[in-house]
Amino acid sequence: MRLVPTNPMNRVLAAILAFEAICCGLAIPGMIQVSDVSLSLAFTTGGVALLLCLAAAGTLRRPFGWALAWLAQAACVALGFVVSMMFAVGAMFLLLFVITFVLGKRLEAAKAAG
């Protein structure tokens, strides 16, 4: 499931992933200070999610970038197992990502129709 590289929604999806990376990064001190998660667990889980988001945002026009993007969405939601609030944050970003993806598919269909 991906969009063609020339679809203008690719830029919007990359921006969503960039903002998601910021939230995953900001979740690290939240995990440590608020939820009393160990430093190693917080930096490992938050860092992996952050890096997945950044890698996906940078490679979204390539086929493997889409696999990274969907994996980044799953990683952000999965952070909820460490800090429950990340279920809500991850779900919001997943919803934004899916809506933007669907709109991109509609643009492609409209362009193909004429």
Torsion sign, CA atoms 19, 21, 24, 28 = negative
Question: Does residue 113 lie in a domain region?
Answer: no
pLDDT of residue 1: 85
In a domain, 111, yes or no: no
In a domain, 37, yes or no: yes
- What averages of pLDDT result for each successive group of 10 residues across the chain (114 residues)? 92 98 96 94 97 97 94 97 95 98 96 89
Q: Is residue 83 part of a domain?
A: yes
Q: Which amino acid is at 90?
A: G
Q: How far is Cα 61 from Cα 81, in angstroms, rounded to an integer?
A: 30
Question: What sections of 8-84 are H helices per DSSP?
Answer: 9-33, 39-58, 63-78
Looking at residue 114, its pLDDT comes to 79
**How many angstroms from the chain centroid is the CA of residue 29?**
19
In-domain check, residue 3: no
CA 71 from centroid of its chain's CA atoms: 8
Question: Domain residues for 13?
Answer: 9-105
Whether 14 is covered by a domain: the verdict is yes
Tell me, yes or no, whether 86 lies in a domain. yes
- Let me know if residue 13 belongs to a domain: yes
Number of structural domains found in the chain: 1
Q: What is the pTM of this model?
A: 0.93
